[in-house]
Amino acid sequence: MSNRRIIASAIAAAGLLTGVGGLLAQVPPHSPGTVCVVDSRTWCWASPPAKPGARCVCPTPSGEKPGKVQ
């Protein structure tokens, strides 16, 4: 096995063991100021778009959650 495969396998295994594999939000490509990010798993489209870093909220099943515009 090549060194690159060993390193890639080790990184993948570490991600699965720490529980972060598959839990990160898949934020699509977007223009700055159009996405509101709540945490590593929750995001929504900023409505209305705002300056990156501004406060925003995303609707969730448990109510609105505060986030920051990216």
The pLDDT of residue 17 is 45
The pLDDT of residue 24 is 77
8-59 tens-digit pLDDT: 555 555 554 444 445 578 999 999 999 999 999 999 999 999 999 999 999 9
What count of other Cβ atoms lies within 10 Å of the Cβ of residue 50? 16
* Coil/strand/helix, residue 58: strand
The pLDDT of residue 3 is 60
d(Cα 10, Cα 56) in Å, to the nearest integer?
37
| Phi, psi for residue 7 in degrees, rounded to 5 | -65, -45
**Contact present, 25 and 34 (Cβ < 8 Å):** no
Domain ranges of the chain: 25-70
The pLDDT of residue 19 is 46
